[in-house]
Chains A and B, each alone.
Chain A
Amino acid sequence: MDNLEKQIIDLIIEITDEEDVAEERDIDLFEEDILDSMAAIELLVAIKDNFGVTIAPTELEREEMNTTNKIIARVRERM
């Protein structure tokens, strides 16, 4: 696990209070009630503050960022 992955996972844990997201990185976070639209916006703001990566609210469909791994991939694409 590289540094970026660890930082993003820590952010998701901080926002959702769910430790599982570090282990089960392919579960659907919206289906499991771990993320809701509010927490997702908070995550986008945190990603912008921490990595300087801006993701506009309508840029991604929910299916493109609904798991821990997908969120990491979306940030990595834009670094």
Chain B
Amino acid sequence: MDFFVEPAFFVLCVPIVLIAAILGMRERPLGRYGLVASVLMLALLFFRSIPSLIFFGAYLLGSLALYAWVAGLFRKEHPKAVALYRVALACQIAPLAIYKVGVLFAPDFPGFLGISYITFKSVQVLIEVRDGLIDNMTIGEYLSFLCFFPPFTSGPILRSRNFVTDLRTPLSRDAYLERLYRGLGWFVLGALYKFVGSALAHWGLWMAPAVISVPALSFVAESFCFGLDLFFDFAGYSNMAMGLGLMLGIEVPRNFHMPFAAKDIKEFWDRWHISLSTWLRDFVFMRFSSFAISHKLFKSRLTTACVGFMINMTLMGVWHGITPDYIVYGIYHGVMLAACHYLQKKWKFYKRHKRDRWFVAASWLVTMVVVFFGFALFGGYVVSPLLGLSS
């Protein structure tokens, strides 16, 4: 059963939310109920493929064991804690890395739906244990965090400390009802995005090459429709996941915040797939920058930032898949962010005019061209045809 796609999923959500609402209105804690509902839903997600069910189970057990081990190392102040933590981190990333390389050679390489997103969650937990920010999360809480079903297959990426705080904080009847109504609103909006917005954009995407005969114009129309399709589909899904999470009493972070209002490419990444871009910012960009600054790898802060953007976004591209389209997409956004950052720091004209209305308008227009060309790269409309590959 695919989440947020098959009618059976939506039908099952009705009793799940109803029971949560009854418990919530009686001010009962929802944590254990959320875990039971999640286990049930994940069983339905995986039941058609026994290999992925086994792989998922093994991944889950391995992650719980790694967490318990690393937390123990730091609690006991083991002399080799940091070195062993690095081993644990490598083990935690390995299944995803092997899977991503494996599918290049065999499309049916063993894996399971949601392996990318669960890896973000498990990796972040190990890093924050090492930072001393997580010290009393129980194994049961960690299991609930990894299995929580609304954002399981495609995010938004949850943060364990917020999730555990939600699990532990009893909600008053009014506080729960506020989440229930807010969640319902997001769910309905998400469904409209996905089943109306995305369908219209999809229709446009299908029509464009048929009605526009000039190749360049057809490319522009296709890129535009593909970008809108991607937005409505993904933001729709994210909003539904957020709404469902809220109805189960958990604050799921917002993943899209008017991305097409961005006036520069940095702002775009503050508005598009926010839980991914902030995850990369916190766990890749900032770690790399901090390492580079303390080891004096580069002369200036500007160079450090530009290299950091390149690494960050290339990794983002590779994470989507090791294909020419995704890798170029990642590098492209790295270059655009670095260029944007450089201009904002060094270009005197920018500093003089950045608040002028005409400049903001021009900047928005340039940003949208950059963004939609990026979508064309992502969708396989540029690199694959150039290389003669089918996208």
- The residues of A with any CB-CB pair to B shorter than 8 Å are 37-39, 41-42, 44-45, 48-49, 56-59
Contacts and interface: CB of A to CB of B under 8 A. Distances in A.
Contacts of B286: 37, 41, 57
B293 A42 contact: yes
Contacts, number: 37
B266 to A, nearest CB: 10
A48 B294 CA distance: 10
For chain B, the bracket of interface size reads 10 to 19
Given A49-B294, A57-B282, A41 B131 contact: no
B133 interface: yes
Contacts of A37: 281, 285-286
A38 B342 CA distance: 12
Interface string B195-219: 0000000000000000000000000
Given A41-B293, A42-B293, 10 more contacts: A38-B301, A39-B301, A42-B289, A45-B293, A45-B294, A48-B294, A56-B128, A56-B131, A57-B287, A58-B131
A60 to B, nearest CB: 10
Contacts of A58: 128, 131, 133, 282-283
Interface string B143-157: 000000000000000
15 contacts: A37-B281, A38-B305, A41-B286, A45-B290, A45-B293, A45-B294, A48-B294, A49-B294, A56-B128, A56-B132, A57-B290, A58-B128, A58-B131, A59-B131, A59-B133
A44 B290 contact: yes
A50 B285 CA distance: 23
The 4 closest A-B pairs by CB, nearest first: A56-B131, A57-B286, A38-B305, A41-B289
B133 A56 contact: yes
B38 interface: no
Contacts of B290: 41, 44-45, 57
B92 interface: no
Nearest to B278: A58
A45 B287 CA distance: 11
A44 B290 CA distance: 8
B304 interface: yes
A42 B300 CA distance: 11
Contacts of A49: 294
B333 to A, nearest CB: 17
Given A37-B281, A37-B286, A42 B133 contact: no
Nearest to A48: B294
A59 B129 CA distance: 11
A45 B132 CA distance: 17
A59 to B, nearest CB: 6
Question: Which of A48, A49, A59 is most buried by chain B, counting CB atoms within 10 A of its CB?
Answer: A59
Interface string B272-287: 0000000001110111
